[in-house]
Amino acid sequence: MRLDVVGKNILRVDALSKVTGKALYPEDIYMENMLYGKTLRSKVPHAYIRVDTSKAERIDGVIKIFTHKDVPKNEYGVVLKDHEVFCSQKVRRIGDPIAFVVAKDLKTCHLALENIRVEYEEIEGVFDPIEAMKDDAPKVHGDSNIIYHFKIRKGDIKEGFKNSHVIVENTYKTHMVDHAFLQPESGVSFIDEEGRITVIVATQYPHYDREEIASALNMPEESVRVINANVGGAFGGREDISLQIHLALATKELNRPVKTVYSREESFIAHAKRHPMIMKYKTGADRDGKLLALEAEIIGDSGAYASWAMNVLRKSGVHASGPYEIPNVKVDSIAVYTNNPFTGAMRGFGATQVPIAYEQQMDILAEKLGLDPISIRLKNMFRKGSVTATGQVLTESVPLQECLERVVERMDFPRREEAY
Amino acid sequence: MVKIDLLVNGKKHSLEVEEDMRLIDLLREKLGLTGVKEGCSEGECGACTVIMDGEVVNSCLVMAFQAHESNIITIEGLDGEGSLHPLQQAFIDAGAVQCGYCTPGMILSAKALLDKNPNPTEEEIREGISGNLCRCTGYNKIVEAINRAKGV
Ligand code: FES
Ligand code: FES
C-alpha cells in the first residue's frame, strides 16, 4: 500500500491564508446593508420572567427586538430539545438567552439591551447535583432532575469484595472547565442568491446547525444554508447552537444581513462547559494486586441543559474501570440537571474525568499492598484477548504494555523496590 | 471626532476617528485589516497584537487617537511582493498553525523579538511570545518555527 499522508509531514492547506492574515473568520465578513445583533441574557440562575421591550424598541436605530413570541418552534438541543431559542417563562441558568436586539450598529444594540426591562421572579435553584437528585429538590425541567442513568453489571461484586485482601474507598471530584477557544463565537447571516437563509458561522456541526435552524424556523432544510468559516478553536465548545438560530431568524424577518460577535465574557456564559463529576469508587484486589472488584458511582453535573449528557456520562461509565481487566464490576453513571452553567462536549467527552479516580485508586492499592505503581498496572492491564467491563473482547492490537514499558524506560521511573 | 495621521504597513492615512475608538477598531473597521484578531478585549490573549513604532502592543488596549503619528505594522504588512516573511514560511513549515487565530499576533510578537534580538535563545523566544495565548498548538511548534526563522 502506498501512503501519501500517513507518516509524512503534510503542509496544512489553510496555513498560508492564516499566516498572512487573509483567513476569514465570521467576524471578518462585512456585508452591505448589514445590521448588528446582540443577545440579552439572564442575570439570575432560576426565575420566572416577564419581559418588556417597548422602551428599547423606541430607541433610534433599533430595527427589531426578537423574543420567544417571534420563534415559530421555540426549541432546540443536540439530543433532547430542552433549550428554548429565547426563554418564554423561566430562565434556568445565568446566561440563558431572553431576547435578541437587532440595530444599525453595536452602540445602539448595547443601549437597547440596557433598556429592555426584565422582571425576575426568582425561584429556589439547585446547584449541587447530589441535592438535585433528591425527590424534594427544585426541578429545573419537568418533574425529575435525573436525565440519564447508565449501568454496568458484570460478575458479582459482593463475591469480589469478599475475596479481596485490600479494599480502597474514595470519592473524587473534578471541576467545571471552559474550552476557552481563542476566537469567541461570531456569525453573519444573509439571504443568498437562491433565496436561502444563509448563516456563516464557526461551528463544529454545520449539518446539525442547519437541521436546528430549519426546525426552529419551521422551514424546509433546503431553504437553509450553513457555511462553516474558519474556526478559531472549538474543543467541543462549538457543538451546541449559540447564535445560529438568532441570526437566521433575524435575517428571515428583516431580509438583511445581520452580524453577531460575542465578547469573551458572553462566550464564557453562552457555551457549554466540561462536566464536573463526583466519582465514588470502591476497588478491591487480592494479595498479589490482581483486581477483583470495582463499584463506582459517577454523578455528572449537566447544568441547566442536557446537551450531550447521556453520551458523556455513558462514556464515563464505559471508561470507569480504566484499561484494567476486572472480573466483577458495578458502575452507575448519572447525569443530573442543576441551575449551573450547562455542560456538554469537551475534549475526551467524559473519558477525561474518570482516570482521576481509577488511577488514584491503583496508586493507593499499590501502596497498601507494598507494590510499585508500575507492577500493579502491568498485572491488570488490558491485553489482546482481555474482556472489558462491558463484555467487549479486545481482539485487535492492544499495545498498552509496550507503551507503559517504554515510558518507564524513558522516564527512568524508579521501581519502588529499587527506590526504597 | 479627532483627526489623526499615521503610517500603517508603510501607507500614510489621515483619518477622523471617534474619541472612544480603539486602535483595533480603526484597523479592522476603517482600514479592513481583519488579520488583527480580537480574543479578549482586555490585554490578556495577544490575538490583537500589532507593532507600533517597533514595540508590540495590544491594539485592544490602545485608543485610536493614541496612534497619531505612529508607525503601525499588522500581519498584512509582513509579506512582500509574492514572497512570505521568513517567519510566515517557518510557521507553515513547522506546523505551527492550527486554528490560526493566534497566528497573526504570534508572528508579530516574534518579528518584534527578532528585530531586536536576531539570535534569541529558546528561553528568550518563549519570553518574547509570553503575551500571546495559543489554545491549540501547545506552543512547541511555534517556538520551533521562530527558532527556524531566526537564521534566515
Ligand atoms: S484582544 Fe487584545 S489582548 Fe486579547
Ligand atoms: S492555533 Fe489556535 S489558538 Fe493558536
Which residue has cell 491594539? B59
Closest chain B residue to the Cα of A18, Cα to Cα:
B100
Q: Are residues A226 and A291 in the same domain?
A: no
Q: How many domains does chain A have?
A: 2
| pLDDT tens by residue, chain B, 152 residues | 999 999 999 999 999 999 999 999 999 999 999 999 999 999 999 999 999 999 999 999 999 999 999 999 999 999 877 799 999 999 999 999 999 999 999 999 999 999 999 999 999 999 999 999 999 999 999 999 999 999 77
Give residue B111 CA to ligand 1 midpoint distance, Å.
18
Question: Residue A185: CA atoms inside 13 Å, Cβ hemisphere, count?
Answer: 28
Each residue of A250-294: pLDDT tens digit?
Answer: 999 999 999 999 999 999 999 999 999 999 999 999 999 999 999
Domain boundary among A270, A302, A323: A270
Residues B92 and B70 placed together within one structural domain of the fold: no
pLDDT tens digits for A385-412? Answer: 999 999 999 999 999 999 999 999 888 8
Domain identity same for B10 and B66: yes
Residues B16 and B62 both lie in one domain = yes
**What CATH number does residue A246 fall under?**
3.90.1170.50
DSSP string, A79-126: SS--B-SS-SSEE-STT-EEEEEEESSHHHHHHHHHT-EEEEEE----
Among B78, B96, B123, residue at a domain's last position: B78
- Is the domain of A142 the same as that of A47? no
Tell me the per-residue pLDDT of B87-116, one tens digit each, with 9 for 90 and over.
999 999 999 999 999 999 999 999 999 999
Tell which of B33, B55, B78 closes a domain.
B78
Distance A289 CA to ligand 1 centre (A): 52
CATH number of the structural domain spanning residue B19: 3.10.20.30
Predicted local confidence at residue B143, as pLDDT: 98
CB A317 within 8 A of CB A285: no
Q: Using a CB–CB cutoff of 8 Å, tell me whether A25 touches chain B.
A: yes
Report H helices in A152-233: 157-162, 206-217
pLDDT of residue A3: 84
Q: Is A235 on the interface with B (CB under 8 A)?
A: yes
Residue A348's alpha-carbon distances to A63, A313, A354, A382, in angstroms, are: 43, 11, 10, 20
CA angle A31–A33–A35, rounded 5-degree value: 85
The amino acid at residue A318 is V
Query: Can you tell me whether residue A54 is helix, strand or coil?
Result: helix
Q: Examine the domain organization and report whether A319 and A365 are in the same domain.
A: yes
**Pairing assessment for the beta strands A97-103 and A117-122 based on DSSP bridges:** unpaired
Q: Which three cell numbers stand for residue A396?
A: 485487535
Grid coordinates belonging to A276:
464536573
Mean pLDDT taken over chain A: 96
Domain end point (choices A236, A270, A304): A270
Rg (CA), chain B: 15
How many whole angstroms from B139 Cα to the centroid of ligand 2? 9
CA distance to partner chain A, nearest, from residue B18 (Å): 13
Q: Collect all residues with Cβ–Cβ distance below 8 Å to A5 and sequence separation of at least 6.
A: none
A419: confidence class by pLDDT, cuts 50, 70, 90:
low
Q: Copy the grid coordinates of residue A273.
A: 462547559
Cβ atoms within 10 Å of B43's Cβ, excluding its own: 13
Instruction: Using pLDDT thresholds of 50, 70 and 90, give the confidence band for residue A346.
Output: very high
pLDDT of residue A420: 46
Query: Total structural domains in chain B?
Result: 2
Query: Atom 4 of ligand 2 has which residue's CA nearest to it?
Result: B134
**Does residue A2 lie within any of the structural domains?**
no
Q: What is the ipTM of this complex?
A: 0.97
DSSP states of A213-242: HHHHHT--GGGEEEEE------TTTTSS-S
Structural domain boundaries enclosing A375: 129-177+273-411
State the pLDDT at residue A96. 98
Cβ A29 vs Cβ A188: under 8 Å: yes
Q: Which domain covers residue B98, as residue numbers?
A: 86-149
Residues A28, A34: Cα–Cα separation, whole Å: 13
pLDDT of A413 over the 80 cut: no
Q: What is the pLDDT of residues A14-62, one digit of tens each?
A: 999 999 999 999 999 999 999 999 999 999 999 999 999 999 999 999 9
CATH of the domain at A278: 3.30.365.10
Q: Where among A217, A237, A270 does a domain terminate? A: A270
Residues B8 and B73 placed together within one structural domain of the fold: yes
